[in-house]
Structure 1
Amino acid sequence: MRDIIEQAINNRQVLEFNYSGRLRIVEPHVLGTNNGILQFLGYQIAGSSNTGVVPDWRRFDVSRITALTTTNNSFAGPRPFPSGKHSAWDHTIAIVK
């Protein structure tokens, strides 16, 4: 799963997956660890969310993702990153350029 996310970040490919029982369609921007947990930061462009706010930035625990696939859709490049808790990483593995 890590390899799929990393490749999607490097190729600017939109991801589709289930998370917390909800379909998410996301532009992945950063893959890394936070407190030793593998996570990625993405801009959710479609699907549903527990907060009901879409589009918006989301941080996902990779271990909680199911049915992960890359789509045939790409995105133009990085969006301005949010501040606060979404920007803190122990170690970054991949960042969209």
Structure 2
Amino acid sequence: MLNTITQAINNREEISFTYSGLERVAQPCAVGVSTAGNNVLRCFQTQGRHVTPGHEWDLCTISKISNLKLTGVIFNSNPRGYKPGDKGMQRIHAQL
């Protein structure tokens, strides 16, 4: 799964997945290890439902992601509010 997410970040390709029981489509921005020691994905959600309405940025624990797929949709611009060097990660494997 880490390889697919890293590929999506490097190619700026949207991904679809299930998280917290909700189908989502998102722009992956960074993947790494959280301050709690978990592999995580920082992404900007473009479609699907949210646990917290109006909340577009997510920090997802990778072990809780299922049905991960590359969508083939390329995004050229960084998502609104994106900042490199994610403070929620102690180590970053890949980022925009």
Q: TM-score surpassing 0.5?
A: yes
List gaps (5 residues or longer) in structure 1: none
In angstroms, what is the RMSD of aligned CA positions?
1.4
Corresponding position of 2:48: 47
Q: What are the within-5 Å matches in structure 2 for residues 5-84 of structure 1?
A: 5-34=5-34, 35-53=36-54, 56-79=56-79, 80-81=81-82
Q: Cα offset for 1:52?
A: 2.0
Quote how far apart the aligned CAs of 1:53 are. 1.9
The alignment's TM-score, normalised by the length of structure 1, stands at: 0.88
Identity level (%): 28
Aligned positions, number:
92
Gaps (5+ residues) in structure 2? none
Deviations 1:33-80 (A, max 9, x none): 0121000100001101111225x1111000000000000101113233
* Superposed structure 1 runs of 4+ greater than 4 Å apart: none
